[in-house]
Chains A and B, each alone.
Chain A
Amino acid sequence: MVIQIVLLGGLVLFSAAAILFRDLLKAAISLAFASLFLGILFFLMKAPYVGAFEISVVAGLITVLFIVTIALTKMEGNVRESRAALWIFPIFFALFLIIDIAVMKSLVGKIPAVESAPESGTFGQALWGLRTFDLVGQIGVILAGVFAVLALFRKRRKDE
């Protein structure tokens, strides 16, 4: 349990850092580390497939996309974040954590759940067999993303 809590703590820490860092590049790297911690956590939760996916896609692909964007907007893209926002954050966060822990503690054992039968099969069977139609949705959303990027980066002729 200890190592899970350490990982969770790291996850939250790096996520907060990703929000609070002034330098965008450091923020993107923090986000990547947060994804890494989340991925390892997933492995420890016996969810290796999503762990691998999280690390390769979120810590990998999405971080690359962020870094490319930061590079393309680096020159004059420096925006002064409000100082106040950075200093107020710990106070609000601490407050939130207190409420969070209190709520969670009080809810333990109070949320009923239907007994579930143990799962059988493999991940492949679950994805292709049980959640087959999700794949159509995935195709749709991938097409949407591809066409969105194509539309947003299209060449405009001067007379348009």
Chain B
Amino acid sequence: MNSAWFLYIGFAAALVFIGLYGLLAMRNLIKLFIGIEVLSKGVSLALVATGFAKSHLLIAQAITVTFIVVEVSVVATALAIIINIYRQTGSLDIRRLTKLKG
């Protein structure tokens, strides 16, 4: 794998880190979901960079496009849940959602 790949993957790893940090440290439900979005960016970057490094860009693009379609569905569902939570409890604070204890 050529060194350009490592550069891109390094940045993709940074995005994954930022996304996970958001998931762990944020309290607002919407912010938590932004963490997932950043995670998704990292994944798309990794996919396209891999395709780029191996000159398999067409397949990589097809995969990434499908992945983005999946992402849209997940976003729509998650935001619908968040809106419902807001309507039910009037708050977007994850700390209020502690009725269930895992």
A149 — which chain B residues lie within 8 A by C-beta? 76-77, 80
- Kindly list chain B residues whose C-beta atoms are within 8 Å of the C-beta of A85: 25-26
> Residue on A with the closest CB to B96?
A79
| Interface class of chain B by DSSP | helix
Given A138-B66, A138-B69, decide whether A73 and B30 contact each other with a Cβ distance below 8 A.
yes
Across chains A and B, the number of contacting residue pairs, with CB separation under 8 Å, is 224
Q: B7 is contacted by which of A50, A68, A104, A142 (Cβ under 8 Å)?
A: A104
Residue total for A at the interface (Cβ-Cβ under 8 A): 82
CB distance from B36 to the nearest CB of A (A): 11
Contacts A45-B48, A89-B25, A131-B59 hold; do A141 and B73 have CB atoms under 8 A apart? yes
A141 contact from B28, B37, B69, B93, Cβ within 8 A: B69
Contact yes or no, A116 B68, CB < 8 A: no
Residues B70-90 near A (CB distance < 8 A): 70-77, 79-84, 86, 90
Q: Are A12 and B14 in contact (CB under 8 A)?
A: yes
Which residue in chain B gives the minimum CB-CB distance to A35?
A: B41
Whether the Cβ atoms of B48 and A24 lie closer than 8 Å is no
Cβ contacts under 8 Å, B81 to chain A: 152
- Residues of the B chain whose Cβ atoms lie less than 8 Å from the Cβ of A11: 11, 15, 41, 45
Q: Are A92 and B21 in contact (CB under 8 A)?
A: yes
Q: Interface residues of B, CB < 8 Å — how many? A: 68
- Which A residues lie within 8 Å of B84 (CB)? 152-153
Query: How many angstroms from the CA of A112 to the CA of B2 in the assembled complex?
Result: 10
Over the window 14-49 of chain B, the binary record of Cβ atoms lying under 8 Å from chain A Cβ atoms (1 yes, 0 no) is 110111011001111011001101100100110011
- Contact with A153, one of B57, B80, B86, B90 (Cβ below 8 angstroms): B80
Q: Which of A79, A89, A130 contacts B59 (CB under 8 A)?
A: A130
Interchain Cβ contacts under 8 Å between A and B, 7 examples: A45-B52, A73-B82, A79-B92, A81-B27, A107-B6, A108-B3, A152-B84
